Amino acid sequence: ETGVTQTPRHLVMGMTNKKSLKCEQHLGHNAMYWYKQSAKKPLELMFVYNFKEQTENNSVPSRFSPECPNSSHLFLHLHTLQPEDSALYLCASSQSPQGRNEKLFFGSGTQLSVL
């Protein structure tokens, strides 16, 4: 248990569906992140939020839409995804903004399959 909870653990969706991934951290951290991990590839940073403000969008397609209503919650809204978007989506948090403290705490991830 790392203090970062992601739901759901597994998700199967069609290309026309709309779904959301949820992340919640109970650590009092100020920064939250979305990473994507495709099969046999390194983790790819998608988005960074510091104090609820998005500070980095790593050229992510608009079919992925993040939302950070407060410092403890982070969502990733999904719509009209493609099969190649199937991957493990990982949420992380850290105490300090802009990654100054590199002790990241990760959730267990959501394994997404797009059919």
Partner 1 sequence: DAKTTQPTSMDCAEGRAANLPCNHSTISGNEYVYWYRQIHSQGPQYIIHGLKNNETNEMASLIITEDRKSSTLILPHATLRDTAVYYCIVRVHSGNTPLVFGKGTRLSVIA
Q: Which residues bind partner 1 (CB under 8 A)?
A: 2, 4, 33, 42-43, 45, 48, 56, 88, 90-92, 98-100, 102-109, 111
Between 85 and 89, whose beta carbon lies closer to partner 1?
Answer: 89
What does the DSSP 8-state code read for residue 9? S
Between 14 and 98, whose beta carbon lies closer to partner 1?
Answer: 98
Q: How far is the CB of 16 from partner 1 (least distance, A)?
A: 28
Q: How far is the CB of 13 from partner 1 (least distance, A)?
A: 19
Between 56 and 67, whose beta carbon lies closer to partner 1?
Answer: 56
Considering only CA atoms, which of 57, 115, 60, 34 is closest in space to residue 82?
115
C-alpha pair distances (Å), 87 with each of 14, 40, 55, 99, 109: 14, 10, 23, 24, 10
Q: How far is the CB of 104 from partner 1 (least distance, A)?
A: 6
Does residue 35 contact residue 89 with C-beta atoms inside 8 Å? yes
> CA gyration radius for the chain?
13
Q: How far is the CB of 80 from partner 1 (least distance, A)?
A: 27
